[in-house]
Amino acid sequence: MKLIKKTLRYIFGVFGYEIQKKNLSDNFEILNKLQKKKDLIIFDIGANTGRWIDNSIQRFNIENIHAFEPSKNEFKLLKEKYSNDKKIILNNFAMGDRSENRIFNINYKGSLSSFYEVNENTNWFKRQQDNKKVFKNKFKIYKEEVKVDTIDNYMNKNKIDRIDIIKIDTQGYEPKILDGAINSLKSKKINSIILEIIISDIYKSNVSFFEIEKNLIKNGYKLISLDDHGNLFNKSIFQLNAIYAINN
């Protein structure tokens, strides 16, 4: 195991990247260092029930948080928590690469809901089935048709000329969302981006660094941080948080 981690750190080091073990607060500290403005405009894409919103309120000086959550149940919880906070702008739709309606898979654990079908032929899925108390033999509970928009469209419609931080946690849909932000990335309207990237094949569509970086590197964004959350050989989901920022 140590040899695997050492090898991964060496490979990323060749390309000028460093893997460090970080917790949630470390990511917020890094994002704080990247900002040049006092009052931040933040997009929380995949807001779920608001954990990241809560941490942002505590850690940043906020002008606005634009939160996006397609699930009706999770969005109801967001409204109950934040409807009286004028700085939190709640949107009951998803972000993607085009404006459309799509089928969204609502899973037994809301944070695992995704546009993609779960891959049932994995050890991870079998371990979920073993937890009868929460899983109840059914990963996907039901489907919802949800509205999808793009970051570029949303910024244009709402006359937003900058985003200081975008957080994207969308269970494999991150590349599509970045595709829908191509004009904003080209014009450097987005300062920094934090993405949760799932490497494990728990869904039928896997995410690669090439898909994530194809619109970032060519438009002047640099990988600033990777946190270390497992590997393909252990029992947890292999996922990590990656932070990109404009390379000044």
Answer whether CATH 1.10.3120 is correct for domain 2-42+57-91+100-241: no
Helices (H), 62-204: 72-82, 123-130, 132-135, 151-157, 174-179, 182-186
Query: pLDDT at position 1, please?
Result: 44
pLDDT for the residue numbered 58: 93
For a pLDDT cut of 70, what percent of the chain falls above it? 78
How many other β-carbons are positioned within 10 Å of the β-carbon of residue 15?
A: 7
At residue 134, the pLDDT reads 56
**Per-residue pLDDT, 103:** 96
Q: For residues 103 and 143, what is the distance between their CA atoms, to the nearest angstrom?
A: 6
Domain extents in the chain: 2-42+57-91+100-241
Residues 190-223 have pLDDT tens digits of 999 999 888 777 777 778 888 999 999 999 999 9
